[in-house]
Structure 1
Amino acid sequence: MVLTPGISRRVFSWMNRVLLLGGVLAGCGGPLESDGALEAQAQALAYPSGASRTVVSRRVVYKNASGAYQAAAGFEHFRAAGASDGTLHDIRIAEADAPGVREALVVMSAGQKISSSGHSSGVTGQSSNWDASCDSVSCPNVSLDGRSLAMKLDTLGWFPRGKTWLALVNDSNFNHLDDSDTKQRIVNGFVGWLQAQVRPETRSIYLAGSSRGGCLVMRLAQALRANTALDGINIYVSSFDGVCRNSQDELGTFDSKINNPVRPWGTFYGAWATNLTAQFPRRDRLHIFHVVGGQEVAPATGIRAFSGYASATPPSTGTNLDWGWYKQTWVKWKHKEIGNPYTEPGASEQAQVVSETIDAHLTWLDARIP
């Protein structure tokens, strides 16, 4: 079942939550349907795909005809934040929609690009070879998959086109192994650039990212929520197995692993603990949803997602969390499957992975935006 013109998004969301969270009663006081039946219903309730789009992804710093680095128009904040031109040259962003009226700002980030393999993103919609057309200035033909979070949200119209500024970070160059100073300068560049898009009518900012992109949007949310000038703006954050570097205390992560309670048998999925309440002391109008699997991104590296915790000390095994401003759900899926449920899982599992990642975030967002 897909969302049709005859079903409002609120009614659809209510139906979705009934099926995903509560089941369907056979009658007053009757038994819940079987797990298999509920799973089939949940998979059938999918948000409709959007239209595929082709966008231009620009470098925030490019090389001019003489080969010298130059800040791209509209991206001057990145260079002003002090990261090296060589680092900034690899940051590429597509401003898909840039209307004059901006009631909402939407920014989505793919994960870290390690190689051409597996860099397709279910969040931004880019394919694994999205950068094949890139030159020293831009990437003129980046295709966006209509099934992605970005294109589904675009079609749903919850943040209406014509009043929503939409930017897709195809490569943030916010690399896991970079030093803390470089990362902070990149974050500062993104924050300055984002704040420059705010208009008097802006009421919502939605940030979404997977893997290292998930860590990036969490850090952007930290900085934006700390800015009292933005107190009247709702900030929504979607993290898909967001990965922060625990050896640098990034996002407050440290060397205490919280085991995934639904991890597949024989695996060691888990996430680095962080006291998110301490990381976000100002939480008014802040809404975060983190879907976490915690598979080690590369064997024997210690690179894995983060997890919040509610007790005085991190538990050995996690639970799903809902603190009002912060929600966290554990899933059994691999890191790449969470980042792109359309290319990584097997065909028999794809619908369930989509339901628990992309569509779960849409259900969460639908329940919170005005």
Structure 2
Amino acid sequence: MAHSSGIPRRISLWAGVALALVGTLTGCAPPGPEDSTGEPQVTLDSQSQALAYPNGSSRTVVSRRVVYKNASGGYQAAPGFEQFRAAGATDSTLHAIRIAQVEAPSVREAIVFMTAGQKISSSGHSSGVTGQSSNWDASCDGVSCPNVVLDGRSLAMKLNALGWFPAGKTHLSVVNDNNFDHLLDSDTKQRIVNGFVHWLQAQIRPETRSIYLAGSSRGGCLVMRMAQALRANTALDGITLYVSSLDGVCKHSQGELGTFDTKVNNPVRPSGTFYGAWATHLSAEFPRRARLHLYQVVGGQEVAPATGIRAFSGYAGTTPPSKGTDLDWGWYKQTWVKWEHKEIGNPYTEPRTSDQPLAISETIDAQLTWLASLL
């Protein structure tokens, strides 16, 4: 996995909540007020320099439904995606999941899987991880979404251009809609996770040595939960697993990823805000940590006002701290940032222009710097 030259190696209630969620998760509405803790605020210097990772080339791909509608209007498992239906989620749930296999070589030394966050409104949403635009789903029909453009500035396309995973021997997939929605019941979510895990495992070949998962918001929670299942599979012990989460959001009232209702406050939150994340004892969630590397960039803005929907935060010790700190445990890294939830999800369009270089450096490029240090 050689680096390209010139790149440093270190470098009802539900309806009300759904309407509110359309804001920050889809990057459309301003944030609302949050609960006050009375702790002092810290501001960051917006003039910090961005890291210099080159953009990749934009790609036009076909995003396929894992369950599609045939000519008679009946649901049918898409060829190559049968694992999703076998995992037991309803066809109507699976019909919304759309995946583009950007690169699918027969020899696969590495597997790269990236997913956008939750799609809630009737339109799509843009993502700095996958590179999809806000209207990516405009061409979708009952079978697929042709002509989905992936922006070259995205994490997916930057990494593809860098060549850190071997060209021609890396399977790259982009999930434009994972339908891993916050409001779904725990059983449905588990079936969706199982479908993704079983499908991804079907992409592994005897020569596969690395898997890289990345996601933002609900996509961040999805890749962390996928990582739990993959690392628990002893048959995959010879494969190194890297996971990037950007303000990953898990539902604390369901105990997703071990989250519970203790908030760890963001130590660098902007003045007048009360960003923080739900605590989780990640060591307990990942008891098998050999060849495991996780990184969460966390802001912790409440995704929609008065919903309690926030990112997760790991913690050390027996009880969570009231104020968080950056963490680096070798297998798990976490850095706090001042950005809004939607800005972390797409730093190329959401922050004001003058803030975009710093936002990019602390989100997308920070993940690349972390990954480069491990490869």
TM norm. shorter chain > 0.5: yes
Preserved contact between residue 264 and residue 276 of structure 2 (Cα < 8 Å): yes
C-alpha distance in 2 between matches for 1:242 and 1:339: 10
1:328 paired to 2:334: yes
Partner of 1:55, secondary structure, is strand
Select the residue among 246, 252, 255 that pairs with 1:249: 255
Distance (Å, rounded) in 2 between the aligned partners of 1:183 and 1:5: 38
1:22 counterpart residue number? none
State the partner residue of 2:105: 99
Q: CA deviation at 1:5?
A: 7.0
| Structure 1 unmatched runs, 5+ | 17-34
- Give the deviation of 1:326 after TM superposition: 0.1
Residue 281 (structure 2) aligns with: 275
Q: Which residue identity lines up with residue 119 of structure 2 in the other structure?
A: K
State the match for 2:191 in structure 1. Answer: 185
Three-state SS of the structure 1 residue aligned to 2:188 is: helix
Whole-angstrom CA distance in 2 between matches of 1:343 and 1:291: 18
Higher relative CO (CA 8 A, sep ≥ 6), structure 1 or 2? 2
Deviation at 1:310, TM superposition (A): 0.5
1:237 aligns with 2:243: yes
Distance in 2 separating the partners of 1:149 and 1:323: 24
The aligned amino acid for 1:97 is E
Q: Report the counterpart of residue 269 of structure 2 in structure 1.
A: 263
Residue 115 of structure 1 and its aligned partner are, at CA, apart by 2.0
Instruction: Report the 3-state secondary structure (helix = DSSP H, G, I; strand = E; otherwise coil) of the residue aligned with 1:161.
Output: coil
Contact 1:118/1:336, CA 8 A, preserved across alignment: no
Residues 1:13 and 1:340: Cα distance change in structure 2 (over 3 Å): same
Bigger Cα displacement from structure 2, 131-140 vs 158-167: 158-167
1:365 equivalent among 344, 356, 371: 371
Residue 153 of structure 2 corresponds to residue 157 of structure 1: no
Cα distance change, pair 243–56 in 1 and its aligned pair in 2 (3 A): same
> Where does 1:191-206 land on structure 2 (aligned, <5 Å)?
191-206=197-212
| Counterpart-to-counterpart distance in 2, 1:108 and 1:168 | 5
Which of 121, 124, 134 is 1:115 aligned to? 121
Q: CA deviation at 1:120?
A: 0.3
Tell me the CA shift for residue 46 of structure 1.
1.6
> Following TM superposition, by how much is the alpha carbon of 1:13 offset from its aligned partner in structure 2, in angstroms?
3.2
The alpha-carbon deviation at position 118 of structure 1 amounts to 7.8
Write the letter of the residue equivalent to 1:47: Y
8 Å contact from structure 2 (residues 218, 248) kept in 1 = yes
- Percent identity among equivalent residues? 77
Code of the residue aligned with 1:344 in structure 2: it is E
Mapped to 1, the partners of 2:9 and 2:109 lie a distance apart of 23
3-state SS of paired residue (1:229) = helix
Code of the residue aligned with 1:136 in structure 2: it is G
1:18-57 correspondence runs (5 A): 40=48, 42-43=49-50, 45-57=51-63
Cα pair 2:124 2:137 within 8 Å, conserved:
no
Please list the CA deviations of residues 144-203 of structure 1 after superposition, one character each: whole Å capped at 9, or x if unmatched: 000000000000011122100000010000000100000000000011101111101000
The 3-state SS of whatever aligns with 2:148 is strand
Aligned match of 1:145: 151
Q: List per-residue Cα deviations over 1:308-350 (Å, max 9, x = no partner).
A: 0012101101000000000000000000000000010001100
Contact 2:4 2:163 in 1 (8 A): no
Residue 98 of structure 1 and its aligned partner are, at CA, apart by: 0.3
Name the counterpart of 1:32.
none
1:204-226, Cα deviation, whole Å (9 max, x unpaired): 00000000000000000000000
The alpha-carbon deviation at position 116 of structure 1 amounts to 5.8
SS in 1 for 2:257: helix
- Of 173, 181, 186 in structure 1, the residue corresponding to residue 179 of structure 2 is 173
Tell me the secondary structure at the aligned position of residue 168 of structure 2: coil
Q: Kindly provide the amino acid, as one letter, of the partner of residue 293 in structure 2.
A: H
Q: Which runs of 4+ in 1 moved over 6 A?
A: none
User: 1:57-112: CA deviations, max 9, x gaps?
Assistant: 00000000011100000000000000000000000000000000000000000000
Which residue is equivalent to 1:78? 84
Instruction: Kindly indicate whether the alpha-carbon contact (under 8 Å) linking 1:172 and 1:213 is maintained by their aligned counterparts in 2.
Output: yes
Q: Does 1:337 align with 2:333?
A: no
- Letter of the structure 2 residue corresponding to residue 357 of structure 1: T
Which of 47, 61, 70 does residue 67 from structure 2 map onto? 61
The offset of 1:119, in angstroms, is: 1.7
Cα RMSD for the two superposed structures = 1.5
Contact conserved, 1:253 with 1:272, CA < 8 A, in 2? Answer: yes
The alignment status of 1:208 with 2:204, answered yes or no, reads no
